Each structure stands twice: as C-alpha cells, then as structure tokens.
C-alpha cells in the first residue's frame, strides 16, 4: 500500500517534538479521519530555522508531517507558505488516493503556523 519512502518517514520520522515559545504555532485536524497535528516554527532572519511537530494519526499523516518539516526547514516564510499538498505527496513519491487528505492536513498546519508567525510579528 505504501512505498519505501513513506514507510521510512513513518518508521523514522524527522523533526518530531516541540519548540518552547515558538515564533509560529498551529494545531489542525482532519475531519475525515480524526488525525491531528501540532506544528511549531522557529524563525530567524526571515527563514525557518527549526520546525517540530507532534502528529497523532496514520502512517500517511506521520510520513507527510516528517517530509513536510524537512521541506520547510531553511526556507523563507514565503517559500514555505507556497508548499502544497501536491508538493508533499510528490516528495513522498506518492500516497494512496484515500490517504491524500493526510497531506492536506499538513499543508494546513504549515499555512496556519506561518499565519500565526505573521500575526505575532506584524509580517
């Protein structure tokens, strides 16, 4: 059902955890399956210096969270804000059709954490 890249990110997820007093934070959930995700951002000089997450969900949700945090780390706020669910799915090498909604939850978390950062820093 899942390819090797998805399974690798599920078994050995990257960037799991929290950031104390984050510059941006979001908590989102998927109404389709009940998965939830918290995303924490640390921003320095307009770039995402660190990103952490906590995801409660299936293999696809955890793998999408892991690879998406790899994708945003080091990017400018605008570059990270441009990441879509299609980018996340492509980076994973694909997901089963019925699991695509998991990557949408992660996309929503990225955008919401960036919106929180912008609101806190008048950006």
pLDDT tens-place string over residues 60-93: 999 999 999 999 999 999 999 999 999 999 999 9
Q: Other C-beta atoms within 10 Å of 12: how many?
A: 9
Q: What is the pLDDT of residue 122?
A: 78
Domain span at residue 58 reads 4-121
pLDDT tens-place string over residues 85-123: 999 999 999 988 888 877 788 999 999 999 999 999 876
Number of structural domains the chain divides into: 1
Among residues 89, 102, 104, 106, which one is catalytic?
102
Q: Nearest 5°: CA angle at 114, between 91 and 62? A: 40
Query: At 103, which CATH number?
Result: 3.90.1010.10
Per the annotation, the verdict on 58 as an active-site residue is no
CA distances from 62 to 11, 16, 45, 76, 97 (A): 9, 10, 29, 23, 16
How many residues in the chain? 123
Among residues 16, 33, 58, 100, which one is catalytic?
33
């Amino acid at each position: 059902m899942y390819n090797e890249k998805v399974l690798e990110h599920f078994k050995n997820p990257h960037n799991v955890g929290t950031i104390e007093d984050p510059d941006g934070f979001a908590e989102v959930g998927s109404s389709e399956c009940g998965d939830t995700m918290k995303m924490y951002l640390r921003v320095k000089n307009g770039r995402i210096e660190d990103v952490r997450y906590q995801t409660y969900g299936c293999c696809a949700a955890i793998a999408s969270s892991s690879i998406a945090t790899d994708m945003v780390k080091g990017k400018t706020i605008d570059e990270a804000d441009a990441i879509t669910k299609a980018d996340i799915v492509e980076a994973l090498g694909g997901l089963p059709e019925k699991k695509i909604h998991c990557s949408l939850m992660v996309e929503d978390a990225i955008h919401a954490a960036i919106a929180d950062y912008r609101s806190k820093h008048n950006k």
